Structure 1
């Protein structure tokens, strides 16, 4: 009975944290929608405003049956590519109920943010097994400990434009959950991936293979959702393997084999984004200009 009570208390704590975060990441958007002047439209973006139209476009393409993303904001003959897959899938799911809009995009962001908070809890429980107090403190620090850059707002003009805590969407977990669906889900998948890797390193025998296979699957999903995580996964696992050899003063072939299992699904994506995508000069320009193409000079 005591164990059940402790479990219920933990669930209440988690529910409270999730609801608090969802309120924090939703109120600014609701305020912007409510305060939009007559005759104007809120684009749904409070960070990275250049990108939002692309995501909604991808959702609508998914709703129309597309499996690859077509860049529709240019008269140039762009070739469809495996990009923004999450939004294509969300568009297909949204089309079952309604037409994809900026509002439905943010509904998905909120749901995926809640899911990611649960995976972050799985991560801290993996790092600090059976240390409940540390687990909750760690989760709170991850979600709300983004730094003290917000203080600059009260000290300097235009601080929000250069303070990374407020202006960089990738800077902290809370800002990632606040920004877009692929940021929110990507954060959760990344945390889940490294939690699985950590569990793999702590197990022996056949259990290691199962954790490696799960990590490989989650890593593949993460790279499909947030393509830049492909580099993070590759670099971290790539450095981890020689680090384990240095620590053990020998080559742990079994551990390296599991690491290879984890990285193997990433190789086709690496080839695709490094070589196949660059076959189209328009996509190359799109990627090298950080997805915001400057207009030609007059």
Structure 2
């Protein structure tokens, strides 16, 4: 069973170098191909690593297209993906091979991740459904802990993901209609519908998880747009008008709370940012833009 490795970079060469160094240091067996996709970084960097293939995009393509470019460049039985701010914390190649040998039904798996404090980080979640939009992200988190803490079906994140070649061939890589949100859920759900299972490999990996800098309002709006696209694609958004009504009703309650109680508990900047996201989403739902 052959193993390839892909990581992407956009102006994070210091982190990317740490990723490469740790991937090589903890490789207890051969990595047949190791590809780094640089997404047209503005910071200069020269590849100083042996046995690493550096592919530079001629323009900024974004994470999803860059990952697909990496998948096209790697032809191995297993493909390991690490974000530039993620890497293994222990020997991982032989144990990854062993896991997939012992679990032929698993098509995609993730390593168990830890954050900078050494605490467990989230590497997976239950397969998304409409409750995540009806309740909102915070309430949905409580709902999952209370009612769905042992899900029958999970999806794993690309920060430390391993895919079988057969899965990549069957689903055709990542769906490029998404931006960097939901691409991991989409490919897992596509694999599940091809008959594969999703798993967790008992190998520790680090994930800093700093995220892409942006206003909270923009991230919330992008979450709703991408989550709606995901649910509709997999026919998990039934009774559209009823669900839209429930979501808009909750958003209106949140908007009113932010602009009344929030005036005493939030700074003006935070309150205006939260208020904008709710008003924008209400408008988008009413106009049928999501």
**Structure 1-normalised TM-score?**
0.26
Greater share of helix residues, 1 or 2? 1
Larger radius of gyration: 1
**Structure 2-normalised TM-score?**
0.26
Greater share of strand residues, 1 or 2? 2
